[in-house]
A and B are shown apart, each in its own frame.
Chain A
């Protein structure tokens, strides 16, 4: 591992994280739904990662979440990935622990219909108020 943060992740989580180093400044880490919150909180609370944003995308395997953490002191962006089952994707929310996730998760809920359990303010954020509540613009199966 070229960067300290990746070594730390491997040491702490072992086989529970699958690390792919794209190059020395970008890495992709795949985790299971069960380990998701533990890894995210570790990235923010221990490694001091800054949640730049999160990408949600509808893929054949399910709804994929990709949280992008920038480690400014280590010159690397670590992207944490997990895949949620359709048709009702659901996962624990990071917002109660890290406020930056508030708007980001609301956006993913709005466009992909991912339910974030424990989110303090689970409303739609960007789409028009007259759209039906169950309409999610970036879902491909509807």
Chain B
């Protein structure tokens, strides 16, 4: 006899509304049904009513974490229609921002995995180390998220060369912290016992389900759009595609951890080799035609198809985020596992969290009400007060 256990649509460990029904027999999960559509925003229809330039900003808002990925893929699709190549400096700048995005996305996932495992130290560490990467992105593009940085033909703004030493310092520090984090996570028997051998996805299933990105590479499928369909500056720097054969939650975690090391390598080399010159090839006219752009976002391949009918608006703009193809792989992964592991197995594909918000409380004169240091001081005072009372 099987029982249905609902998870969601609003659940403490799911950051976004998704509804999962687990069919269980005792503690063992037999199958699962996933119901999507609670944050469907009709972007494909909306894209047909905006100009090509506006579309790039629209697709950035698909996801707060992958905003550079979608806008780059859409730019590639438009460049494919027109038949232009961006200048060298633009290719390198695009690559740097995209890899910084990968760093903060993977580190965000490490934190969330810690949160789901109940391992709060990992959560605190992960998000603490992620913060300087967002500062680096703000220094380069002006924004922590939604960079408004990519445009068809190149990038929108140039960067003063004086900031690169500071960015390199942030990356060096991040690289060191990642080493420490990798050591701490992979040495911890409690974390290993929750991840190793749990939620196995075989290589055959990963191919059959069309899995992408770290989800596929964790199951031994050697795909990466950065290498397989060359774009940006990836063919001009030295890096490796990380593949792990085991297919369990640990393998996917290791792929993400080691990919952060590779991303640091790519960023450092791109800054070192950054050429001068123009940052954009101007596109005056978008002719009738169709184009495809796809890139390796942190969670897997983001795919954009655009058809132009010669006007200033696309006739059709198809967009597909990686999570759409990764979600179905939850079913073979969760079969035969226990209920307590189900949420972790769902989170291991890193389902995309489409909302990030930045909040600051200001006093009436417009100054920040409290700085980070003030909050730390307040926290210390509160702890001391508790200590005296108990």
A: which residues have CB within 8 A of B? 22-23, 25-26, 28, 50-53, 55, 57, 66, 68, 70, 72-73, 75-77, 79, 98-104, 111, 125-128, 137-138
Alpha-carbon distance between A138 and B44 when the two chains are bound, in angstroms = 9
Residues of the B chain whose Cβ atoms lie less than 8 Å from the Cβ of A77: 229, 292, 294
> A79 near B37 (CB under 8 angstroms)?
no
> B37 near A127 (CB under 8 angstroms)?
yes
B230 close to A (CB within 8 Å) = yes
Residues of the A chain whose Cβ atoms lie less than 8 Å from the Cβ of B208: 98-100
> A72 near B305 (CB under 8 angstroms)?
no
> A68 near B209 (CB under 8 angstroms)?
no
Please give me the 3 A-B residue pairs with the lowest Cβ-Cβ distance, nearest first.
A100-B210, A53-B320, A55-B318
> B42 near A137 (CB under 8 angstroms)?
yes
Closest residue of chain B to A64, judged by CB?
A: B316
Alpha-carbon distance between A100 and B305 when the two chains are bound, in angstroms = 18
Minimum CB–CB distance for A81 against chain B, Å: 10
> A72 near B316 (CB under 8 angstroms)?
no
Residues of the B chain whose Cβ atoms lie less than 8 Å from the Cβ of A28: 290
Kindly identify which residue among A25, A100, A127 contacts B209, using a CB–CB cutoff of 8 Å.
A100
Alpha-carbon distance between A103 and B244 when the two chains are bound, in angstroms = 26
B346 close to A (CB within 8 Å) = no
Residues of the B chain whose Cβ atoms lie less than 8 Å from the Cβ of A70: 225, 228-229, 294, 301
Given A72-B228, A127-B40, A137-B45 in contact, is the A79-B292 Cβ separation under 8 Å? yes
List the one stretch of B64-72, B155-163, B323-331 in contact with chain A.
B323-331
Residues of the B chain whose Cβ atoms lie less than 8 Å from the Cβ of A76: 229
Considering only residues 191-214 of chain B, those with a C-beta below 8 Å from chain A are 207-210
> A22 near B44 (CB under 8 angstroms)?
no
Alpha-carbon distance between A9 and B303 when the two chains are bound, in angstroms = 24
B307 close to A (CB within 8 Å) = yes
Kindly identify which residue among B36, B228, B289, B292 contacts A125, using a CB–CB cutoff of 8 Å.
B36
> A68 near B229 (CB under 8 angstroms)?
no
> A66 near B305 (CB under 8 angstroms)?
yes
Residues of the B chain whose Cβ atoms lie less than 8 Å from the Cβ of A98: 208, 210
Q: Can you pick out 25 interface pairs between chain A and chain B where the beta carbons lie within 8 Å of each other?
A: A22-B291, A23-B80, A23-B83, A25-B229, A26-B291, A52-B294, A52-B303, A53-B320, A57-B307, A68-B303, A70-B228, A70-B229, A72-B229, A75-B229, A79-B292, A79-B305, A99-B208, A101-B210, A103-B327, A103-B328, A104-B325, A126-B36, A128-B40, A138-B44, A138-B45
Given A52-B320, A55-B318, A70-B294 in contact, is the A126-B40 Cβ separation under 8 Å? yes
Residues of the B chain whose Cβ atoms lie less than 8 Å from the Cβ of A128: 37, 40
Alpha-carbon distance between A73 and B224 when the two chains are bound, in angstroms = 10
Kindly identify which residue among A68, A99, A100 contacts B292, using a CB–CB cutoff of 8 Å.
A68
Residues of the A chain whose Cβ atoms lie less than 8 Å from the Cβ of B292: 26, 68, 77, 79
Considering only residues 237-274 of chain B, those with a C-beta below 8 Å from chain A are none
Minimum CB–CB distance for A47 against chain B, Å: 13
Residues of the B chain whose Cβ atoms lie less than 8 Å from the Cβ of A102: 328
Closest residue of chain A to B318, judged by CB?
A: A55
Alpha-carbon distance between A108 and B307 when the two chains are bound, in angstroms = 17
Alpha-carbon distance between A72 and B300 when the two chains are bound, in angstroms = 14
Minimum CB–CB distance for B209 against chain A, Å: 5
Extra contacts besides A53-B324, A75-B229 (4): CB < 8 Å: A55-B318, A72-B223, A100-B325, A101-B210
Minimum CB–CB distance for B302 against chain A, Å: 10
Residues of the A chain whose Cβ atoms lie less than 8 Å from the Cβ of B303: 52-53, 68
Residues of the B chain whose Cβ atoms lie less than 8 Å from the Cβ of A111: 44
- B277-301: CB near A (< 8 Å → 1, else 0) gives 0000000000001111010000001
Alpha-carbon distance between A99 and B201 when the two chains are bound, in angstroms = 14
- B18-59: CB near A (< 8 Å → 1, else 0) gives 000000000000000000110010101100000000000000
Closest residue of chain A to B44, judged by CB?
A: A138
> A75 near B328 (CB under 8 angstroms)?
no
> A51 near B290 (CB under 8 angstroms)?
no
Closest residue of chain B to A58, judged by CB?
A: B316
Residues of the B chain whose Cβ atoms lie less than 8 Å from the Cβ of A55: 305, 316, 318
Closest residue of chain B to A129, judged by CB?
A: B37
> B37 near A99 (CB under 8 angstroms)?
no
Residues of the B chain whose Cβ atoms lie less than 8 Å from the Cβ of A104: 325
Closest residue of chain B to A26, judged by CB?
A: B292
